[in-house]
């Protein structure tokens, strides 16, 4: 068994029996579910809306090179600069270059899962550049030295007491502050940082080809500040975040808000088209957009998996997933967790190390049902399973097991020959390990199927 898979099984085993963890997670996800049910009422026909959204993302991804080039041309015209990064190292080098050129000592950053993907914080810290998370949830996680737990709500698994204790330990404030007081503590610390930082780094929710701009969705105002106060703005994202037109936001902003946080619209939705224009009051002198591939082209190249690139990272599939609900975000051991993480991780990384995630699913289809762009997530999980079998990534014992199973099932005599006890023993030998130690294998009956049907008086 591969290292990642072993870790996953051990961590899952621990998490599902951690009642405190379960209580916090269930509480948060119940709130998320209630908000979603309320938020989606803004759509008179959500099903058709999702179909239209999927068509738009299909068009965008099928013509990805055309739209990305149009974006670059238009963004250049606005005075911005596009940096293409094939992999993590190129993205990190590009950011370090901008830092060095401007002798940057401190950076403010808003929420961006892509920066988690390339481990930007660790990299810059190693180069003695301070990088501060400004989203409250991310700030909490950074203080705790822990990765985000959920792509939309990074500190979802922490109770208010956990956060109060953390702030007490790290920031030297009284130990029993309320969420309002804790928020104010973070606000006051971070406000000074926006003005002092030389560079602001943000993520991107949508790349807008027709105007050469980017769109950022948030509730707190930290992305707005990070993109406006420092003299340099660097925005980074994966190439799949493309939309053909700024006018697609009329649909995608409310769609993302409802599925991400159950809102009709988030508090701040901003479009950035470049650095400060000559006659404008303030804003950054330079703006860079880093477009990261990092093996997304592997998803693009596979027509069966391509639709996973339509994802708008709302996190809705995590919230409804019975597996996520039980094992939580960190257990996946990936940047992207939940159903979408299980689908794309084998493509974005070494497939052999991440294929097991696609098997950790009951294929209930809740993810597919909730997805705002109608990605057939549970089909894609099956697709990954097939890939894993075809690429021989399944353990030898399971492969042998299925070979024997197939051989016997193709011959009636072989099926009828051993007794029930022998069959139970044999199947136990072959599949016990894969069946799971907490599940009981069903026992075979003493009679064979043939005997059973022959003895029935009314059988034909």
The residues in 238-257 that bind other proteins, with binding defined as CB under 8 A, are 246-247, 249-251, 253-254
Min dist. Cβ of residue 207 to other proteins (A): 15
Query: Contacts with other proteins in 270-299 (CB under 8 A)?
Result: 270-277, 279-283, 287, 297
Q: Which residues contact 123 (CB under 8 A, 6 or more apart)?
A: 92, 96
Q: Which residue matches tokens 């119940």?
A: 30
Are 250 and 296 in contact, with CB atoms under 8 Å apart?
Answer: no
- Of 208 and 393, CB closest to other proteins: 208
- Of 272 and 288, CB closest to other proteins: 272
Q: In terms of Cα–Cα distance, which of 328, 392, 312 is closest to 360?
A: 328
Taking CB under 8 A as the rule, which mask of x and - marks residues 117-136 in contact with other proteins? -----------------xxx
Structure tokens belonging to residue 240: 């799949």
- Of 274 and 341, CB closest to other proteins: 274
Query: Contacts with other proteins in 189-218 (CB under 8 A)?
Result: 190-191, 194, 211, 213
Are 210 and 189 in contact, with CB atoms under 8 Å apart?
Answer: no
Min dist. Cβ of residue 397 to other proteins (A): 36
Structure tokens belonging to residue 52: 């239209």
Q: Which residues contact 182 (CB under 8 A, 6 or more apart)?
A: 160, 163, 164, 167
- Of 117 and 248, CB closest to other proteins: 248
Contact status: 12 vs other proteins (CB under 8 A): no
- What three-state secondary structure class fits 160? helix
- Of 305 and 394, CB closest to other proteins: 305
Helix (H) or strand (E) run with residue 262 in it: none
Which one among 51, 100, 411, 454 touches other proteins, defined by CB under 8 A? Answer: 51
Q: Which residue matches tokens 């993590």?
A: 88
DSSP 365-409: -HHHHH-TT---HHHHHHHHHHHHHHTT-S-HHHHHHHHHHHHHH
Are 149 and 319 in contact, with CB atoms under 8 Å apart?
Answer: no
- What three-state secondary structure class fits 380? helix
- Of 21 and 158, CB closest to other proteins: 158
- Total number of residues that touch other proteins (CB under 8 A): 88
Contact status: 386 vs other proteins (CB under 8 A): no
- In angstroms, the CA 354 to CA 174 distance is 43
Taking CB under 8 A as the rule, which mask of x and - marks residues 351-380 in contact with other proteins? -----------------------x------
Q: Which stretch binds other proteins (CB under 8 A): 49-57, 317-325, 413-421, 422-430?
A: 49-57
Q: Which stretch binds other proteins (CB under 8 A): 55-63, 337-345, 380-388, 418-426?
A: 55-63
- Of 301 and 400, CB closest to other proteins: 301
Are 220 and 186 in contact, with CB atoms under 8 Å apart?
Answer: no
Strands 206-208 and 213-218 turn out to be antiparallel
First vs last C-alpha separation in the chain:
48
Which one among 3, 20, 44, 460 touches other proteins, defined by CB under 8 A? Answer: 44
Taking CB under 8 A as the rule, which mask of x and - marks residues 150-189 in contact with other proteins? ---xxxx-xxx--x---------------xx-xxx-xx--
- Of 20 and 280, CB closest to other proteins: 280
Which one among 21, 25, 32, 289 touches other proteins, defined by CB under 8 A? Answer: 32
Q: Which stretch binds other proteins (CB under 8 A): 13-21, 53-61, 98-106, 327-335?
A: 53-61
> How do the residues of the chain divide into helix, strand and coil, expressed in percent and rounded to 5?
60, 10, 30
Contact status: 219 vs other proteins (CB under 8 A): yes
Residue positions counted in the chain: 460
Provide the Cα torsion 166, 170, 172, 177; round to 10°: -20
């Amino acid at each position: 068994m591969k290292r990642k898979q072993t870790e996953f099984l051990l961590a899952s085993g621990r998490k599902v029996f951690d009642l405190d963890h379960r209580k916090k997670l269930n509480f948060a996800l119940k709130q998320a579910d209630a908000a979603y049910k309320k938020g989606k009422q803004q759509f008179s026909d959500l099903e058709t809306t999702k179909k239209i959204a999927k068509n738009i993302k299909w068009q965008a991804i099928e013509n990805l090179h055309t739209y990305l080039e149009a974006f670059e041309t238009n963004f250049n015209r606005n005075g911005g600069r596009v940096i293409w990064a094939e992999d993590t190292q190129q993205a990190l080098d590009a950011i370090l270059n901008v830092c060095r050129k401007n002798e940057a000592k401190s950076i403010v950053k808003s929420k961006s899962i892509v920066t988690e993907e390339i481990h930007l914080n660790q990299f810059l810290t190693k180069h003695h550049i301070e990088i501060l998370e400004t989203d409250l949830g991310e700030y909490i996680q950074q203080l705790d030295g822990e990765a985000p737990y959920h792509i939309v709500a990074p500190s979802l698994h922490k109770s208010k007491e956990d956060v109060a204790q953390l702030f007490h330990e790290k920031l030297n404030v009284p130990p029993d502050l309320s969420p309002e007081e804790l928020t104010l503590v973070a606000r006051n610390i971070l406000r000074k940082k926006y003005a002092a930082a030389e560079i602001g780094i943000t993520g991107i929710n949508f790349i807008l080809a027709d105007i050469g701009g980017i769109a950022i969705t948030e509730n707190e105002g930290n992305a707005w500040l990070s993109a406006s106060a420092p003299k340099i703005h660097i925005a980074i994202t994966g190439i799949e975040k493309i939309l053909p037109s700024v006018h697609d936001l009329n649909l995608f902003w409310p769609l993302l808000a409802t599925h991400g946080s159950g809102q009709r619209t988030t508090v701040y939705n901003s479009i950035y088209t470049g650095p400060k224009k000559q006659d404008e009051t303030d804003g950054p002198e330079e703006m860079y957009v880093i477009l990261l591939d990092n093996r997304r082209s592997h998803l693009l190249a596979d027509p069966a998996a391509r639709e996973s690139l339509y994802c708008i990272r709302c996190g809705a599939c995590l919230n409804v997933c019975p597996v996520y609900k039980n094992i939580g975000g960190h257990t996946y051991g990936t940047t992207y967790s939940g159903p979408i993480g299980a689908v794309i991780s084998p493509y974005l990384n070494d497939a052999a190390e991440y294929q097991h995630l696609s098997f950790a699913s009951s294929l209930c289809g809740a993810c597919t049902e909730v997805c705002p762009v109608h990605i057939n997530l549970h089909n894609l999980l099956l697709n990954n399973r097939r890939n894993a079998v075809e690429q021989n990534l399944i353990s030898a014992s399971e492969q042998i097991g299925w070979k024997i199973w197939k051989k016997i099932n193709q011959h009636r005599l072989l099926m009828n020959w051993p007794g029930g006890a022998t069959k139970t023993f044999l199947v136990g030998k072959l599949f016990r390990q894969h069946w799971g130690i907490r599940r009981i294998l069903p026992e075979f009956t003493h009679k064979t199927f043939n005997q059973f049907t022959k003895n029935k008086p009314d059988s034909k």
